[in-house]
Each structure stands twice: as C-alpha cells, then as structure tokens.
Amino acid sequence: MISQTSIFLISVSSILIVVILVMGISPVSGAVYSINGSQMDSKLLSENIQSDPSLIAGDLPRGRVIFFWNTHCGACHLAWDFIDEFIPNHPEVEILNYDLYNSTDNRTLFENYKEKYHRNQLSIPSMIVGNITLEGTQDIRNHLPEILHLQQEVHSSQGIIVDLQKFINNLHLF
C-alpha cells in the first residue's frame, strides 16, 4: 500500500518535472523581416534602418501600423496587452487591426501582405511598420517603439529639406 508521504512526494516530483519541462521549452519565437522577405538581425535593427531609411517608409503614413491577429491566439492576446499599454502614451500611432479568425477579407489581406513581403510562412501575431514585419509578441514588444521612434526621427530630419523645397517652389522669381 502506498503511504500518504509517497503520494505527496510523487505529486511534488511530477509538478517539478512539469515546471522544469515548461521552463526549458522556449516560447514560439518571432522574427523581424524586411519587405524583400529576408530576416533581419534584430540586434542591428536601428543600424539597418539608419543605413536604409526605405525600411521604415512603406505604403502607409508614418505612425500607422498594421496588426494581424486571431481571436483564439494566446500570443495575440499578449501582444494586445502590450498595445493597450503602449497606445495611450503614443496617440500619434494608429493601429489598423485585422482579426484573421472572423473575416475572410482579413485573411485575404493577410495573404496579400505575405506575398508582398515575400513570406510563404508568417505567424501571428504579426505587425507591419513601413517595410518591416515584426512576427511574434516579443519582437512586437521589443521593436515597435524603436521602429516608430526611428520613423519619426527620419521624417523629422527630412522635414527640413521638404519644407525648404516647398519654400523655394513657392517663390515666384521673375
């Protein structure tokens, strides 16, 4: 017959094994991709953007971000938690969100973006900022603020040149 102590030790051992296994399994990792489909080294993201400002240009105005997610995706809900904390402090950012679970049109749009960004496979949550795709909650959390900051910085530095060009164009020289 098994004693109470033996049952307790087996239970505690089982729980410890499960905890060790869960901690040892890495979470689904994300990635950062450029529009040409190549994976970017996230440690060099700022340097890559500064050397190639077209990475943050894209089709959308600066500050507008596309977010693909799914109602039944746990990682997507974690990404939403981050977005819910981030947006109140950044009113200049607009999130265009597309739930892939409840809309065929949204899934078609997602497939179009995958094709445009040369990605056969793209996990959700995914966020598109300029010509960069952030895949996974961690990369969204780690890099969205950085990319938006650089997007603003590049726009501001180009703004003086654009303003000067407009001024010159508006001069009516006889």
Q: What is d(CA 126, CA 99) in angstroms, rounded to the nearest whole number?
A: 11
Of 110, 97, 96, 93, the residue nearest 151 (C-alpha): 93
The token duo for 25 is 């399994």
Is the residue at 104 inside a domain? yes
**What is the number of structural domains in the chain?**
1
Q: Read off the pLDDT of each residue in 33-49 and give the average, rounded to a whole number.
A: 89
pLDDT of res. 18: 43
The token duo for 117 is 């960004």
Domain that holds residue 82: 31-170
Q: Read off the pLDDT of each residue in 24-39 and give the average, rounded to a whole number.
A: 71
pLDDT of res. 168: 53
Give the CATH number of the domain where residue 82 resides. 3.40.30.10
pLDDT band at 60 (very low <50, low <70, confident <90, very high): confident
Rounded to two decimals, the pTM is 0.72
The two most distant CA atoms of the chain are separated, in Å, by 107
Please determine, for residue 28, whether its predicted confidence score (pLDDT) is greater than 90. no
